[in-house]
Amino acid sequence: MDNTDPMEHDARKRSWRKWITGATLGILFVCLGWACRKPLLQGLGAFLIEEDAPGHADAIYVLGGAPFDRGTHAAELLAHGTAPIAFTTGSNHSSILKAEGRLVTEAEVTRSAALRSGADPRRVLPYPYGTSTFEEAKGVLHHARQNQLDTILVLTTDFHTRRVGQVFRKRFRGSGIHVLVASAPASEYDPVYWWTSEQGLLMVNNEYVKTLFYALKY
């Protein structure tokens, strides 16, 4: 004879129904996320990219980092007449070259990449200032004012463009100097399928961390 309390029996049934419903919804959510993973991941990457339409500038400022990609593209922009001169920034020292006993700034390494790509040495000059985007924006504003520039093009990497644009335009506000932002094509990952390579994963992950950091600090 079953002596189970009817109310207790009903409570157990309701509990099981809730568990089954929750598990079913969870499985459906996972399946939906998996099915939509590509557009979702592409959207995460695309959000970080915000470039300006190509235009002529008085000077190109090539930010420190990714020296091969940025230096090479700077040489191409100079060859196409985008600007008459380029300045390479960044005062950090390359850790790889430092291990070999050579203290070379990011500005110098990027300039070397531009020269190896055929740029005229007289049109690519080092400006070794800044250890971060925030510091580089400060230094570039001072330098652009000294040289009485009206329009500058800031060259960085694709996933950095949104944050770089925000930092530079905030710093240049009221200066009368127009800021354009462009990116150099990446050689170590595909920006459309960034999650398929370690370098792409690191780039997007680090950029979201930096974006949050800059939003909170600056």
Residue-wise DSSP of 126-153: EE---SSHHHHHHHHHHHHHHTT-SEEE
Ordered by start, the domain boundaries in the chain are: 59-217
User: In sequence order, which residues have a C-beta less than 8 Å from that of residue 34 and are 6 or more positions away?
Assistant: none
Both structure tokens of 211: 């974006």
Global pTM value: 0.84
Q: In this model, does residue 3 exceed pLDDT 70?
A: no
CATH topology of domain 59-217: Rossmann fold (3.40.50)
The tens digit of pLDDT for each residue in 60-89 reads: 999 999 999 999 999 999 999 999 999 999
- pLDDT of 177 above 60: yes
The token pair that represents 165 in the structure block: 């644009």
pLDDT digits 0-9 by tens, 106-115: 999 999 999 9
